[in-house]
Each structure stands twice: as C-alpha cells, then as structure tokens.
Structure 1
Amino acid sequence: MSIEIVTLTTEAELIPFQEQLRQVYYRAFSLPPHNESLADAQHFVSRQIVHHSKNEHFRFCIARSLETGTLLGFIYGHTTKKGLWWHDQVAPYLSEAQYQQWFSNGYEIVTFGVDPAAQRQGIGGMLHDTILYGLPHRTAILSTQHENLPARRFYQKRGWQIILHDFYFSGNPLPYVILGRAL
C-alpha cells in the first residue's frame, strides 16, 4: 500500500476530511484503554480541532492511501503556552528546571491516532516524523495513558523520555505519563 502524508495548517483545509477523521478517531479510540464513544469522536472533529487550529504553529498531518484516498491516521499539535488546557494542567507539577527544559519552547502533540486496521505498517512513524520535522521548537511534549504500553514503546523507540509518572488530569481517574523529546 502506498501512503501519502499531508500536512494541513488551517481549519479550512480540514473540512474535506471531517467525516473520515471522525471514523478513524472512533476506530482508534473506542478500544481499550481509551473507550471513547461516537459522541467523543464527533466532539473531536467539530470542536476540538477548530479550537486548536487557532494556536501558534498548528499542524495537522494525515496519512491516506494513495490507491483509495482512505484516511488511515492523523496527528496534530501546536506550540504549548500558558492559558491552554493541557499546558495549565501539567505545568504546576514540573520543577522550574523541568519547565524551562520542556515547556519554555515546546511543541505539544495533542492527539495521535492510526486506524487499528492500518497499524504496524509504519504509518504512525511517518506521521510522527512529519509533524516534528522542521519545527522551530527545542522540545516536543505529550501525554499518553500509563497503561497504554504499545504507545509508550512506540515513543520510547523514537527518543521520548518520561518527565512525569502517574499524572492525573482533572476529572479523569486514569493515570498518564508525560513524555518529552528533544528536537
């Protein structure tokens, strides 16, 4: 299968892909450990992406089959800064040295998913490498569920390191790890 990675930088560029994004998000995140619903997938497409597309250095990368045009995966992020939910949840738990190292010039990976039927074909690696390529940031940061061992192994192979163990986001009873990577 031939794969194309496309980088989108505006909300308008995302519009043609909204339905396929909803479907891929649901297939990728409805399974354990995420257990997301169809309503969560719709929220992701209709509200969350729109919100984040207005942030500095917003990038949304999609992977699609060249043969069929089918969307297979996505990743998106932006510059992290005070006033953004994820940043403001995590930053108070970092030492001043950690904050300066990881957040003072950091790129936040917000959401990353590959359709389960397309996993283990290198698509996640292509998406990961594309979104980080050429960024003007010193570091990249993200979170993943503590129990999501496949994701943690994926990130570890790509040079990510754990910044915080057993982190709990407000309103979420599941533990996460906060990861960082030098760019």
Structure 2
Amino acid sequence: MEQLTEVTVRPIDLAAWAPYALEVQAQAFGLSAQEVAVRLHIVGRHAQQSGVLAFGALAGDRLVGFGYGMPNQREHWWSTVIEPYLAARGHVDWLDGVFAITELHVLPQYQGRGLGSTLIRTLCERSGLDRSILSAIDAETPARRLYRSLGYRDLARAVPFPNTDRPYTVMGARLPLLDRSYSAPANSR
C-alpha cells in the first residue's frame, strides 16, 4: 500500500503540466491511450484560452490531482452541445457570465481527502465570476455528491456528448460555493 504524502494545491501552467494531468485523468476517469491522445490536444487548445485557470494538487513533485476552467464562451464546442438541453429547461442564461469547470480529477488513492473540493473552490474563488457551470456523468457518483454539497444543482440531465455512451448532467452553482464539509464514503472512487 502506497504511503500518502502531504499534498499542496498551487497554480500550474496548464500547457506544461498537460501530459501529467492526462495521466491523472486516465487513472481517475478510466481513459484509454487513444482517448488520452485526443484529450491532450484539447487541453493544449484550452491552455491558450483567455481567462483559463489551472491548479494542481502535488505530492512532492508528483501531480495527484488537477482542475482547470475558464469563463464560458457560447462558441466553444461544449457550450454548443449543451445549449439546446439548457434551453429546453429554461436555463440557457447559464451559458453567459459563468465560470466553466472544464476538468477536475484526483487519483483514486488520493480521493476522499478533500482535494477535489479544494481544487474546485480555488478555481471558483479565483474566477471573479458569480456563477459556475460544469458537466458530470449522469449517475450517483462521489463527484456528483461533492458538487451538490458545494451548491451545484442539476440544470439539464441525460445530455449526450459525441463519442461517449454515458449521458451527462449539466450542473450550475452560484458563487461563492457553499461551505459544507464533504467526505466521500471510504470505499468510493
């Protein structure tokens, strides 16, 4: 069993840390090597976006978690996919003036230690905006429970994204996020 070392959260250069972030995401999210390669290019494009914020959770010099986001833009691919689902539920205003959490992942062995909460809180606090939006797999997962504990609520469910069989839920929260303690069940991932 791996000894868990102290973890610090700090800003990271998203472009420089992208390969390490994708290693974390692959383990946390179960991505194939092909999916990692595709996402590496996407993260590279995101790193060039205006207003992007990225934070890493580091155990020594090892990235064990990361999160990044940016002010949402309607012309971004993600927004064009979710827009009709938000509009159908009267929530299209959540595409404007919001901070989009793009990715948030923590290595399985470091989950349940508050790193995800610290990462998302830090991103939202530094965004300078008064609302946040994200998408999560449409299932009762530790991630969805975390988001709800922070004040996120479902805006649209069963949203299909191209190239995935899993439906997603789009969630939104007013900022600052709620200050409720969250702890994942000991056996969850």
The question of a shared fold, defined as TM-score above 0.5 by the shorter chain, is answered with yes
Name the counterpart of 2:27. 27
Structure 1 residues 22 and 170: alpha-carbon distance in aligned structure 2, compared to 1, 3 A threshold: closer
Is there any run of 5+ residues in structure 2 with no aligned partner, and where? 176-189
Q: Does 1:175 align with 2:179?
A: no
Whether the 8 Å contact between 1:55 and 1:79 is mirrored in structure 2 is no
Residue-pair matches, total: 170
Match of 1:54 among 36, 43, 48: 48
Whether the 8 Å contact between 2:154 and 2:171 is mirrored in structure 1 is yes
* Amino acid of the structure 1 residue aligned with 2:56: I
* Amino acid of the structure 1 residue aligned with 2:45: H
Structure 1 residues 141 and 39: alpha-carbon distance in aligned structure 2, compared to 1, 3 A threshold: same
* Amino acid of the structure 2 residue aligned with 1:161: R
Moved over 6 A (4+): none
1:174 offset after TM fit, Å? Answer: 1.9
What are the Cα deviations for residues 61-109 of structure 1, in whole angstroms up to 9, with x where unaligned? 10001xx321110011111112101011111222395222x22101111
Name the counterpart of 1:33. none
Match of 1:88 among 53, 73, 80: 80
* Amino acid of the structure 2 residue aligned with 1:172: T
Whether the 8 Å contact between 2:98 and 2:129 is mirrored in structure 1 is yes
1:171 offset after TM fit, Å? Answer: 3.8
Structure 1 residues 181 and 51: alpha-carbon distance in aligned structure 2, compared to 1, 3 A threshold: same
Length-normalised TM-score, structure 2: 0.82
Q: Does 1:69 align with 2:61?
A: yes
Percent of matched pairs sharing the same residue? 23
Q: Does 1:98 align with 2:91?
A: yes
Structure 1 residues 21 and 135: alpha-carbon distance in aligned structure 2, compared to 1, 3 A threshold: closer
Is there any run of 5+ residues in structure 1 with no aligned partner, and where? 31-35
**Aligned equivalents of 2:18, 2:128: Cα separation in 1:** 28
**Aligned equivalents of 2:107, 2:77: Cα separation in 1:** 26
Length-normalised TM-score, structure 1: 0.84
3-state SS of 2:127 partner:
coil
**Aligned equivalents of 1:169, 1:44: Cα separation in 2:** 14
1:148 offset after TM fit, Å? Answer: 4.8
